[in-house]
C-alpha cells in the first residue's frame, strides 16, 4: 500500500520547486506496510482520534506472560487494517509478522 512515509512518527517532507519557485510537491510517498504495522503495535486503544479502537499497546506486553492473547490481539488489529495475516510469531526477543495488504 502506498502512503505518506514517516520517520520517527513524523511525515517526511522534501519540497520540490517548479521553475517559478513555487512548491509543486513535498510529501514523500512510499510503501507503508511496515510503518502501519509498527503504529498499530505501538498505539494504545484511544490514542488515535480517528479510530479509537485501533492499537495493541505493545508496551503493556513487557511483564505479561500470555503470548496467545497478544498474538490474537495483534492478528485482530492487523485484520481490522485490512491486512491479510499469514503468520505471527512471538518470541522472548521479537515479534515476527507475515502480513500483506
Instruction: Specify the pLDDT at position 33.
Output: 95
Quote the CA–CA distance of 35 and 14 in Å, as a whole number. Answer: 19
Q: Is residue 100 part of a domain?
A: no
Per-residue pLDDT tens digits for 28-69:
999 999 999 999 999 999 999 999 999 999 999 988 889 999
**How many CA atoms lie within 13 Å of 69's alpha carbon, on the beta-carbon side?**
8
Whole domain around residue 52: which residue ranges?
2-94
Give me 35's grid cell. Answer: 510503518
The whole-model pTM stands at 0.83
| Domains contained in the chain, number | 1
Does residue 89 lie in a domain region?
A: yes
> Cα separation of 37 and 13, whole Å?
21
Residues 67-94 pLDDT 10s: 999 999 999 999 999 999 999 999 989 9
Residue 97 pairs in a beta bridge with: 88
Amino acid at each position: 500500500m502506498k502512503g505518506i512515509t514517516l520517520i520517527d512518527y513524523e511525515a517526511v517532507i522534501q519540497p520540490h520547486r517548479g521553475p517559478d519557485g513555487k512548491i509543486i510537491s513535498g510529501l514523500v510517498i512510499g510503501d507503508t506496510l511496515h510503518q502501519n504495522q509498527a503504529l498499530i503495535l505501538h498505539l494504545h486503544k484511544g490514542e488515535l482520534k480517528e479510530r479509537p479502537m485501533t492499537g495493541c499497546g505493545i508496551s503493556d506486553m513487557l511483564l505479561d506472560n500470555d503470548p496467545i492473547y497478544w498474538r490474537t490481539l495483534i492478528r485482530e488489529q492487523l485484520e481490522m487494517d485490512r491486512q491479510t495475516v499469514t503468520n505471527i510469531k512471538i518470541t522472548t526477543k521479537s515479534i515476527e509478522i507475515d502480513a500483506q495488504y
